[in-house]
Each structure stands twice: as structure tokens, then as C-alpha cells.
Amino acid sequence: EVQLLESGGGLVQPGGSLGLSCAASGFTFNNYAMSWVRQAPGKGLEWVSAISHNGGTTYYADSVKGRFTISRDNSKNTLYLQMNSLRVEDMAVYYCAKHGARTVTTIGAFYIWGQGTMVTVSS
């Protein structure tokens, strides 16, 4: 069974840092691009960042560029999101999602989602 399991969420003060992980299983992780998508409480979905199958290409939403870093360790079947200089507006459930191809493509869809991990930014 294809599965994504996020971890690392929690409470952090504004300006602080937090690292999220997404453990993948049930598929050949290094064959697929991956993304992080977030959802603030009561709000819609917002794409955060994407990475190609080998980590060679990354993309970021303007709202997180320069503060967040996406990476992956294919030997550990794990996707990461390092979040620095966190703001109140970063508070959300963060989902990792599996693409349908190796690259981040114009027809890219998010085929499988994890259950999400909550990040709370508050003093």
C-alpha cells in the first residue's frame, strides 16, 4: 500500500525554525517528484514547494521562498521541509504529496497525500 507519513509538526514561536519529514512507503520513492502543500485552519489548499525525483530541481511559492528549503533522501525514502523565520501566517496543516512523474511537470497532479502534520506558530 502506498503511504506517506508526515512528522515534525508542533508549536514554535514566530521567528523560530522547524523541520518536517515525510516517510514514504509502498512505491519506488526515487521515481517520483514530491511536493508540500499546506492548509491554514478553515482555509483552502496552498502549494508550498516541490522537488524532482533526484532533488536536482526545486520550486517554491513566493510566500516561503528564502525561508523554507525542500530536500529529499532517497536512500531513506524521506522528504523534508526545513522551515526558518516562521510567521504566524505559516500556521497550517502541512501535507506531503506524491506526483505522478519524476519531474515537476506542467500537468503535475498530486496523486497520493499524507495525513498531514500541524504547525502552530504562536508566542
Partner 1 sequence: SYELAQPLSVSVALGQTAIITCGGNNIGSKSVNWYQQKPGQAPVLVIYTDSSRPSGIPERFSGSNSGNTATLTIYRAQAGDEADYYCQVWDSNFYVFGTGTKVTVL
The answer to whether 52 contacts partner 1 (rule: CB under 8 A) is no
Angular region, 35: left φ>0, alpha ψ -120 to 50, beta rest: beta
Q: Which is nearer to partner 1, 107 or 123 (CB)?
A: 107
Cell numbers for 7, please give them.
512528522
The reply to whether 45 sits near partner 1 by the rule CB under 8 A is: yes
Q: Is 89 helix (H, G, I), strand (E, B) or coil?
A: helix
Stretch that binds partner 1, among 8-16, 19-27, 76-84, 111-119 (CB under 8 A): 111-119
Q: How many residues bind partner 1 (CB under 8 A)?
A: 23
* C-beta separation of 51 from 34 below 8 A: yes
Judge contact between 3 and 26, C-beta under 8 A. Answer: yes
Site residues for partner 1 per CB under 8 A: 35, 37, 44-47, 50, 59, 61-62, 95, 100, 105-111, 113-116
